[in-house]
Chains A and B, each alone.
Chain A
Amino acid sequence: MIDQLVEQVLAGRRRAVARAISLVEDGGSEARAALAALHPHTGRAHIIGVTGPPGSGKSTLVNALALYFRRTPTEPQPTVAIIAVDPTSPFSGGAILGDRIRMRDLAGDRGIFIRSMASRGNLGGLAWATADAVKVLDAAGYDLVIVETVGAGQAEVDIARTAHTTVVVEVPGLGDDIQAIKAGILEIADIFAVNKADLEGADHAVMALRMMLDLNTGGGHTVMHHGRLMTAVAETEEMDEENRWRPTIHMTVATRREGIDELAEAILAHRAHLERSGELARRERERAAAELEMIVQHESLRQVLDRTDQARLSLLIDRIIRRELDPYTASLRLLHHE
């Protein structure tokens, strides 16, 4: 059953690809078996992350980018898969996934696959299974995989660990107070798109970004990972100034497809830079390390909870509330099965 599904995914059959994504979203042993079988066939696709605040035009921009890539004169034209993440309601567990509305231009093109995904309680801007869904699409042979995050503000930087090229979408007119918000998300950008650039204040937004970049003294981009800093872009000392990527800034009006060619070419140029500088291999290593750590964390939690009976867990919680036990000691007892 799983063997057959994997075989059909590798053959690029869309029904199987869709089913495999559902499987990895739901998790469990069959999902793990499928991912294990697909893993050797991954690593070929270029993964593009698109993030930015809600309403900044991410979906419309993704629509325009995909259209551009599908119409480039270079042969063969790349196939494009899109994963668009929207938030899950913390109350009902349901979700409205509306990113497809902005992507109707892409309908009917068999070289495009669009999947909407609910965040299912994950807080980093992606769903837990987004990286696994990317693997399914990579193994199915899509050349470019574009991942659109939930509307992101400050801390949603998971995309930098999933994508090769991260595009941060900004819009004019958010004012000076945006500076504070910018701290987290702006640091992960390889490329900036100032979208809705026909609005007043676009020049100002570009200038503010340029100034921020001028203040960067290099030393690598870092992202917080479980409370500690980890290097997202492992730039080493021997990497000279010429080899360092300086984030580019592009004005776009996605609804009118203005500035899209320049943005798309910047993405391809960034890919070329990653390959040329050896940065791609370094990022792959960082990604694999972060992924392994996350899975170990997830797995150990699952194993501890599986073997702990509810009564015992409840007893420990009672004792923490009564201040007879602190949560650190309690967690060690659970981990060591005392």
Chain B
Amino acid sequence: MADRKIRVLIAKPGLDGHDRGAKVIARALRDAGMEVVYTGIRQTPEMIAEAALHEDVDVVGMSILSGAHMALFPRVMELLRENDMGDVLVVTGGIIPDEDVPALNEMGIQGIFGPGTSTDEIVDFIRENIA
């Protein structure tokens, strides 16, 4: 591998349109030298899994503030596995109540970053955890 870049998909699943957080993260990852595929708001689990497949990303990052994560994330994980992408690192941020964290971990979502997380922390987490 002459020049291996970390590729990340940043998506906003569900119906909330608050994409400032997602854009801040995308920018921070870009500044950390990663290639960030930004798909924008109102993504269905099908769209996210398809984009991850086409783009051959190492990481899928989902930003969600609507509270629909427990409804949408299991489907994303299922579709990723169907596409033979079960080894992709999945991280999330936004508004995720603490009591949901164990269930999300159980699903295979490792990095869960709430408000106030520094972007450096997220960059480090990705670098340490990609396959």
Q: Which residues of A contact B (CB under 8 A)?
A: 14-15, 18-19, 21-22, 25-28, 88-89, 91-98, 100-101, 104, 107-108, 113-116, 118, 120
Contacts and interface: CB of A to CB of B under 8 A. Distances in A.
Contact of B56 (A19, A28, A104): A19
Nearest to B23: A96
B36 interface: yes
Nearest to B38: A98
A21 B54 CA distance: 10
A104 B44 CA distance: 11
Given A15-B84, A26-B4, A108 B50 contact: yes
Nearest to B51: A100
B83 A15 contact: yes
B131 interface: no
Contact of B3 (A15, A26, A94): A26
Interface stretch (B25-33, B61-69, B93-101, B106-114): B25-33
B39 interface: yes
Contacts of B50: 107-108
A96 B30 contact: yes
A115 B54 CA distance: 6
B103 interface: no
Nearest to A19: B56
B39 A100 contact: yes
A95 B54 contact: no
A315 B46 CA distance: 56
B38 A94 contact: no
A18 B53 contact: yes
